[in-house]
Structure 1
Amino acid sequence: MPRQPASFLPIADALRTRIRAGDWPVGERLPSRAHLAAEYDVSPMTMQRAVERLIIEGLLEGRAGSGTYVRTPRERLRMVRSRHRERRGGSPFRSDMAEQGKRGTWESHSQARVPAPDGIAHRLAIQPGDHCVRTAYEFLADGMPVQLSTSWEPMAITDGTPIVLPELGPLAGMGVVERMRTIGVVIDTAVEVPRPGRATQEEANMLGISVGDLLMRIERTYYDADGRPVETADITVPDVRWEIAYEIGIEQPE
């Protein structure tokens, strides 16, 4: 049987349409949830979930002891993926956020000697089970979640060097390209494969969005000058907050 949409989603769609049509201007308080539930002939719980959905989207805001108000819609920003982002030195993410006028930070957790799963091994051109360093990241802009990433680096390349753990040591936070360069590995190509997806419960919790919300999943792999894969990552970006744009350089004839 096809999966039926959650019962609150059509109600959220109807409220969203009315907000965008100006039935309730920015700054106006909505009728009580009990009133709206009666108007739409749904349970108070269904109406609560519909309103919570619009709060997450940034169309509404709840004020303790006062009610729910229409707010200015949250701005959807553009995240540019470009070869130039790797030429600025330091962390590309921090530079990306600085261009948006935001402070980019992140939290991370690394594990060494993690056996490479089949799919990761294929992307890194190593054998399944070969040891890697796996690092899970949560990237933040002004303290708010922006994207998630899970990175894999073959230990055959970094083991015994100061950069074996990406976020420890003197080059912590410098980005893959800068770190690898210090051990003689020159990265000159990045390949990204974007695919749309839907948020799992874990992703929704971490990104502050709803289960099933649209995501952009980017499979990125870095290659050195000899064409060897040296790092691969799965990057997750919430579509409700960010659009992905790719900048493509055009070589001019000599």
Structure 2
Amino acid sequence: MGVMEFLGAVGNSFSFLYNMVTGALILWVLTVTATASAVRSLAEGRGALWGAMISTVGAVIILLLIQLIGVPEDTTNVLNNFIIMTLGGLGSGLLAVALVAEPNAVEALKFKRALFNILDYAFVWLWLSSLSMIFLFLISKLSGRIVATDHALGIMLITFLFTFLSIVLLECRNKFAKWGESVGLGLFLILVVLLVFYVGTLASVWSKAPGWILTLNSLVACSIVSTSLYYRRRGAAPLLQP
């Protein structure tokens, strides 16, 4: 047996280390690590709340990945239960800790500003991305090369509409200063739900137009980053920040 044949045999023997199921487990480890780091580094402030949000987003991403990679149903059920019990339980526990904690005013203000900053960029990206996907679906339909079904187009329209309403609420954040943190957490949950619908819709049409989807999303991301950098150089508040 030559060297290449030997290396090939070794690679096949350890192929389980780089399959998609293992990838989901690696994401689980990264999520737990990021959650623990947030809790430990921000223990004096809103570390528990940041940890709860990180574990929630991580769980949603991993569950979507498991559904998309097409693993056997029995394996899917085991992984889903594992993710829900671990990351879901971790997030719920940290959320309970955050609700009973009493951070000082300075830490609460830092958390609110950081949360709204993240929501600004996330909702603007989702809004522009969903709008570009709607145009892609409609143009492909008019040209006779159907990329998405009417159901997928309807879900993308709903995502676009609720994202726009969320942006309007973000723009009026100062009117809800008294409930600013609660409004931010509510918008975060809405963002997670919208991302589930958005990613699920893209997954259903990805095989028909992967290049266009990737290109449009890359252009949206680059435009947001360049606009933000431009305003920061001018000393102005970027995006929706008042």
| TM-score normalized with structure 1 length | 0.21
Q: Which has the higher helix share?
A: 2
Which protein, 1 or 2, shows the higher relative CO under an 8 Å CA cutoff with sep ≥ 6?
A: 2
TM-score by length of 2: 0.22
